[in-house]
């Protein structure tokens, strides 16, 4: 029971921590651009993980197959994070973070289309609900619409993160999460540094104490703390409850948008959030049922007979 309570706390904490990502947009007011903000975030996070691995005395050695998988993961996470942070310049951070939360639905859709998973009614319903949720977020009550480019960028971010999850699952990397993120964050830090140098007019050093605070926050809270707590949550309460608690990610982001960035909370936003949440919960419950069926098949045989009367 204590482990379940601890796992639940970690699940909530991980979602809330990751939901604070939009605070990075505060650095835009300091004159920093998305590539520069993310270069600092991932660079400092990588440094922290490197120190942890040094104390753990964990080997950095990888083989050719692992190098290919880690490179793909690094590039996918780079694309997902950069497109999300650029979208923060085009639209409200709360809305962007809510649209991003369609990634579990996209993951299910990709698995059905490209990995021959059966397309079920729950998958179709989830896709339709998430689509309706995004459409409600796109059109404002006053008849105006969100930035089309901003919405496209967030959807690209969600899509690349969905592919990231699939590659992580299919690669079956036999190493710690610290080691995986050590290599993934190298691509993220260097890729965003290149973005800052080539397309944003140069790499900037934070000039104020508040800038350093937000840089440190991004490196520690939505990266390191969220990662560690997510591992414990999945371990002690399972992937489905952890995924459902993930609904607190966009909720946190919306609250940050309202109270820090002064964004409006509209009826369309409320309904859109609810529709996307329902879609994600349906997918999570479906995944849990499939996972239990797979375990039963492994335990009792492919015919899934629960009892052996012999």
At residue 187, the pLDDT reads 96
At residue 288, the pLDDT reads 62
The whole-angstrom separation of Cα 227 and Cα 181 is 9
Q: Are 239 and 290 in contact (CB under 8 A)?
A: no
Give the CA count within 13 Å in the CB-facing half-sphere of 123.
14
Q: What is the pLDDT along the chain (310 residues), one digit of tens a residue?
A: 688 888 889 889 988 999 999 999 999 988 899 999 999 999 999 999 999 999 999 999 999 999 999 999 999 999 999 999 999 999 999 999 999 989 888 888 888 888 877 777 887 888 888 889 888 888 876 677 889 999 999 999 999 999 998 898 888 888 888 899 899 999 999 999 999 999 888 899 998 999 999 999 999 999 888 878 887 887 788 766 777 787 788 889 999 999 999 988 888 888 888 998 888 888 877 766 665 555 555 555 544 433 332 3
At residue 37, the pLDDT reads 96
**What is the SS3 string spanning 212-249?**
HHHHHHHHHHHHHHHHHHHHHHHHHHCHHHHHHHCCHH
Q: 71: which 2 tokens?
A: 């490179």
Burial of 169: CB neighbours in 10 Å, binned 0-12, 13-18, 19+: exposed
Burial of 203: CB neighbours in 10 Å, binned 0-12, 13-18, 19+: middle
pTM of the model: 0.85
Give the CA count within 13 Å in the CB-facing half-sphere of 242.
21
Q: Are 217 and 16 in contact (CB under 8 A)?
A: no
Burial of 196: CB neighbours in 10 Å, binned 0-12, 13-18, 19+: buried
């Amino acid at each position: 029971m204590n482990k379940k309570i601890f796992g639940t706390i970690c699940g909530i904490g991980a979602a809330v921590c990751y939901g604070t990502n939009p605070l990075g947009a505060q650095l835009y007011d300091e004159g920093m651009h998305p590539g520069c903000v993310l270069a600092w975030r991932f660079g400092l996070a990588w440094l922290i993980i490197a120190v942890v691995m040094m104390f753990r005395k964990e080997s950095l050695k990888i083989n050719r197959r692992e190098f290919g998988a880690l490179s793909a993961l690094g590039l996918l996470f780079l694309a997902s994070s950069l497109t999300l942070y650029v979208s923060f310049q085009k639209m409200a951070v709360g809305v962007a973070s809510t649209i991003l939360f369609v990634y579990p639905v996209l993951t299910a859709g990709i698995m059905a289309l490209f990995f021959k998973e059966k397309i079920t009614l729950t998958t179709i319903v989830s896709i339709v609900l998430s689509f309706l949720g995004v459409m409600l977020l796109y059109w404002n009550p006053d008849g105006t619409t969100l930035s089309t480019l901003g919405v496209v960028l967030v959807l690209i971010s969600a899509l690349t993160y969905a592919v990231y999850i699939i590659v992580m699952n299919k690669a079956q990397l036999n190493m710690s999460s610290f080691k995986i993120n050590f290599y993934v964050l190298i691509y993220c830090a260097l890729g965003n540094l290149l973005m800052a140098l080539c397309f944003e007019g140069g790499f900037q050093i934070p000039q104020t104490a508040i800038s350093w605070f937000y840089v440190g926050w991004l490196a520690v809270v939505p990266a390191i703390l969220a990662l560690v707590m997510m591992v414990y949550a999945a371990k002690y309460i399972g992937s489905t409850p952890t995924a459902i608690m993930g609904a607190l990610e966009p909720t946190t982001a919306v609250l940050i948008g309202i109270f820090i960035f002064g964004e409006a909370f509209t009826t369309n936003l409320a309904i859109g959030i609810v529709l996307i949440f329902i879609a994600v919960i349906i997918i999570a419950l479906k995944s849990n049922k499939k996972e239990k069926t797979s375990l039963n098949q492994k335990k009792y045989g492919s015919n899934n007979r629960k009892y052996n009367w012999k």
